[in-house]
Amino acid sequence: MSEAHERRTLGVAVIGFGWMGQVHARAWARLAQHFPEVPVRPTFVVVADTDEGRRREACEVFGFAHAVHDWAEVLERDDVDVVSVCGPNFVHREIGAAVAASGRHLWIEKPAGRSAEDTTEIAAAVHRSGVMSAVGFNYRHAPAVQVAKHLVASGALGRLESVDVHMLADYSAHPDQALSWRFDPQYAGTGVLGDLVSHGLDLALHVGGTTLGGVAELVADQATYLTERPFAPEGGRSHFARGGDGPRGPVGNEDTASALLRYASGARGTLVASRVAVGEQCGYGFDVRGTEGALAWDFRRMGELRVCIDHDYQDATWETRLVRPGDGDLSAFQPGSGIAMSYDDLKVVECHLLAQSIHTGVPQGPTIDDGVVAAGLVDAMVRSYEEKRWVRP
Ligand X SMILES: NC(=O)c1ccc[n+]([C@@H]2O[C@H](COP(=O)([O-])OP(=O)(O)OC[C@H]3O[C@@H](n4cnc5c(N)ncnc54)[C@H](O)[C@@H]3O)[C@@H](O)[C@H]2O)c1
Whose Cβ is closer to ligand X: residue 327's or residue 350's?
350
> Is the peptide bond between 175 and the residue preceding it cis, with omega within 30 degrees of 0?
no
Q: From the CB of 181, what's the least distance to ligand X, in Å?
A: 8
Whose Cβ is closer to ligand X: residue 54's or residue 104's?
54
Whose Cβ is closer to ligand X: residue 240's or residue 318's?
240
User: Which residues 6+ apart lie within 8 Å of 189 measured at CB?
Assistant: 89, 90, 111, 113, 114, 115, 118, 253
Whose Cβ is closer to ligand X: residue 41's or residue 69's?
69
N residues, the chain: 393
Separation of alpha carbons 35 and 37, rounded Å: 6
Separation of alpha carbons 171 and 158, rounded Å: 37
Q: From the CB of 17, what's the least distance to ligand X, in Å?
A: 5
Whose Cβ is closer to ligand X: residue 49's or residue 118's?
49
The 3 state secondary structure assigned to the chain is CCHHHCCEEEEEEEECCCHHHHHHHHHHHHHHHHCCCCCEEEEEEEEECCCHHHHHHHHHCCCCCEEECCCHHHHHCCCCCEEEECCCHHHHHHHHHHHHHCCCEEEECCCCCCCHHHHHHHHHHHHHHCCCEEECCHHHHCHHHHHHHHHHHHCCCCCEEEEEEEEECCCCCCCCECECHHHCHHHHCCCHHHHHHHHHHHHHHHHHHHHHCCEEEEEEEEECCCCEEEECCCCCCCCCCECCCCCEEECCCCCEEEEEEEECCCCEEEEEEECCCCCCCCEEEEEEEECCCEEEEEHHHCCEEEEECCCCCCCCCCEEEECCCCCCCHHHCCCCCCCCCCHHHHHHHHHHHHHHHHHHCCCCCCCHHHHHHHHHHHHHHHHHHHHCCCECC
Q: From the CB of 18, what's the least distance to ligand X, in Å?
A: 2
Whose Cβ is closer to ligand X: residue 125's or residue 219's?
125
Q: From the CB of 105, what's the least distance to ligand X, in Å?
A: 18
Q: From the CB of 22, what's the least distance to ligand X, in Å?
A: 8
Whose Cβ is closer to ligand X: residue 54's or residue 66's?
54
Q: From the CB of 192, what's the least distance to ligand X, in Å?
A: 11
Q: Is 279 exposed, middle or buried (0-12, 13-18, 19+ CB in 10 A)?
A: exposed
Task: Tell me which residue has its CB nearest to ligand X.
Answer: 18
Whose Cβ is closer to ligand X: residue 16's or residue 208's?
16
Whose Cβ is closer to ligand X: residue 19's or residue 318's?
19
Q: From the CB of 154, what's the least distance to ligand X, in Å?
A: 28
Q: From the CB of 133, what's the least distance to ligand X, in Å?
A: 15
Whose Cβ is closer to ligand X: residue 211's or residue 222's?
222
Positions touching ligand X (CB under 6 A) are 15-20, 48-51, 54, 71, 86-89, 91, 109-110, 136, 138, 195, 237-239
Q: From the CB of 149, what's the least distance to ligand X, in Å?
A: 19
Q: From the CB of 46, what's the least distance to ligand X, in Å?
A: 11
